[in-house]
Structure 1
Amino acid sequence: MPRRFPVAAGCAILISGLMGAPASAHVVLDTREAPAGSYFKGLFRIGHGCGTSPTVRVTVQIPSGILSVRPQPKAGWTIDIRKKTLPEPVAGPHGKTVTEVVSEIVWDGGSLPNEHFDEFALQMKLPDAADGGVLIFPVIQDCVQGTRAWVEVPTPGQSRRDLTSPAPILTLTANPQAHKH
């Protein structure tokens, strides 16, 4: 019995450390799969600052194909919604013609200490994708001292675990009810 306790305690410590690693080491989406064509709420989790420096700005770049996106306000932070004009108008949600789209959402002016985590939320209409696909959301994390660019994308055959600063990725799945709100 005395030998089992240290082994069990060691395993529990190792497992709890491994389970916490992704959330504390990267910017991640809380949900990593969503039906194509659906309305989706994405929570971008910031797990730490830059070294010991607090986070003061978070910029989420919006991938092509997303025609409608809205940020959730955060107390103590301002929001800047940056847009770009499309080269050609496209049909958007609810039959509307879309001529410009959101290219970036920036939360600024707050302070997220390195010892804490927080989530930055976006509601968006995902593109229809009959064959699935992925959406890559590069995130720039600015701190009092330093910047972290979470922009790396794995090459075919490469694991996200091999990357130093992976971008959050959302995998689109088949959607039997694409218009559901």
Structure 2
Amino acid sequence: MKKLNRGLRAVLAAAAFAISLPASAHITFENKEVEAGRLVKFVLRIPHGCAGSATTAIRIAIPDALSGVTPEAKPGWTLSAATADATPVHVAAASNGTGGLQAKEIGWTGGRLENSHHDEFIFSATVSARAGTIYVPVVQECEKGVERWIEIPSNGGSSEDLKHPAPSVRVQP
């Protein structure tokens, strides 16, 4: 009987500890690896809001390793894009066969993604011809608060050590 009670107590203690841990779901890309020099569809996964609050905007900083960006429209959300000097870019131009936008930032605003729900935001871009890892900073704006998924590991570091890591993909030759 003592063994059973001791074992039960250990299980209950472990369960209580697991429940007390904070959620560590980060914003990630569906694709973990992409091919260098290719047009790639990037699916950004948003797993939750900000500290219990609904997401109302997603902004993505486009790194130099991506070009010809074409964001996908999302019902209920307004698309926007801007160049490096913050000049707004007309997003509809991306569908006219010009090869996408030369935007440095794209975003979706005006929608509402409840904290308890998840969703995906999609864009396509051509990946640079160099192998390595591409980090794509994302700002998640919510009704109450902002989450800045912008941390990039220092040389030799790991994203696992960061509180708000930027989503990343590995570029394969």
Q: TM-score range by the shorter chain?
A: 0.7 to 0.9
Q: Distance in 2 between matches of 1:81 and 1:49?
A: 22
Deviation per CA, 1:25-68: give whole Å up to 9, x if none: 11101112101001100111111100110000000110013220
Q: How does 1:120-135 map to 2 (within 5 A)?
A: 120-129=121-130, 132-135=131-134
Deviation per CA, 1:88-135: give whole Å up to 9, x if none: xxxxxxxxxx9x821011100000000000000011111111xx1221
Output the amino acid matched with 1:79. L
**What is aligned with 2:139?**
140
Task: Out of 140-149 and 65-74, give the one that drifted further.
Answer: 65-74
**What is aligned with 1:160?**
159
Deviation per CA, 1:135-177: give whole Å up to 9, x if none: 1100000000000000111123432111100001111101xxx
* Unmatched 5+ stretches in structure 2: 86-98
Q: Distance in 2 between matches of 1:55 and 1:145?
A: 9
Mapped pair 1:55 → 2:55: yes
Mapped pair 1:31 → 2:25: no
Q: Distance in 2 between matches of 1:134 and 1:64?
A: 12
Q: Which runs of 4+ in 1 moved over 6 A?
A: none
Identity of aligned residues (%): 34
Query: How many correspondences in the alignment?
Result: 146
Output the amino acid matched with 1:70. T
**What is aligned with 2:117?**
116
* Unmatched 5+ stretches in structure 1: 86-97, 175-181
TM-score, normalising length: structure 1:
0.72
SS in 2 for 1:161: helix
